[in-house]
């Protein structure tokens, strides 16, 4: 499997995606659905680490699909840290923060898992409000992704 989704902490406060060198959008959708289920299974806020240190290159229609993924996060999603390897994480962070002001203090970029954990260990500036733009997930068959 190109993406493995696991709890990063025993308290289930951080969810982690480990993305392999070769992945496609169907695997992202599968990982997202699993993540949603895991996050919704707890009452507290859950942060996410997306570990792309082994990921090679972005796929076709990256921006459109990331926009969809941001819109579909469960309301108890906290901060999201993109960990190196993508080569385009700063662009994604910038575009996402411009398009979604409420993600300004929720989306971060780190060079390593250690740095990601350091970011998430810092106190939040304020409690994360529920995401106002959370919408139902679009069926994978209607999304745009490379096959």
Confidence band of 80 (pLDDT split at 50, 70, 90): confident
Instruction: State in Å, rounded, how far the first CA of the chain is from the last one.
Output: 16
Q: Does position 32 have pLDDT exceeding 80, yes or no?
A: yes
Per-residue model confidence (pLDDT) at position 127? 52
**Which domains occur in the chain, in start order?**
3-123 (3.30.750)
Residue (of 100, 90, 101, 105) closest to 58 by Cα position: 90
Instruction: Report the predicted TM-score, pTM, of the whole model to 2 decimal places.
Output: 0.74
**With 90 as the cut, is the pLDDT of residue 91 above it?**
no
- Give kind and range of the element (H or E) at residue 83: strand 77-83
Q: CB–CB of 140/29 below 8 Å?
A: yes
Could you give the strand order of the β-sheet that contains 107-110, starting from the edge strand earlier in sequence? Answer: 3-7, 14-19, 46-51, 77-83, 107-110
| Per-chain mean pLDDT for the chain | 75
Q: What mean pLDDT comes out for the span 61-87?
A: 74
pLDDT in tens, 112-135: 999 999 999 988 765 554 554 444
Average confidence (pLDDT) over 33-56: 89
């Amino acid at each position: 499997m190109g993406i493995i989704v696991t709890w990063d902490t025993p308290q289930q406060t951080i969810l982690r995606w480990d993305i392999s060198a070769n992945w496609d959008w169907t695997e992202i959708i599968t990982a997202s659905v699993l993540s949603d289920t895991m996050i919704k299974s707890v009452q507290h806020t859950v942060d996410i680490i997306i570990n792309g240190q082994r990921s090679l290159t972005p796929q076709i229609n990256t921006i459109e699909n990331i926009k969809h993924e941001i819109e579909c996060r469960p309301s108890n999603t906290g901060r999201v840290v993109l960990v190196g390897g993508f080569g385009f994480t700063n662009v994604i962070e910038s575009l996402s923060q411009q398009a979604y002001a409420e993600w300004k203090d929720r989306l971060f970029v780190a060079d390593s898992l250690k740095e990601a954990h350091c970011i998430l260990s810092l106190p939040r500036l304020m409690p994360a409000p529920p995401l106002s733009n959370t919408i139902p997930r679009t069926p994978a068959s209607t999304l745009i992704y490379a096959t």
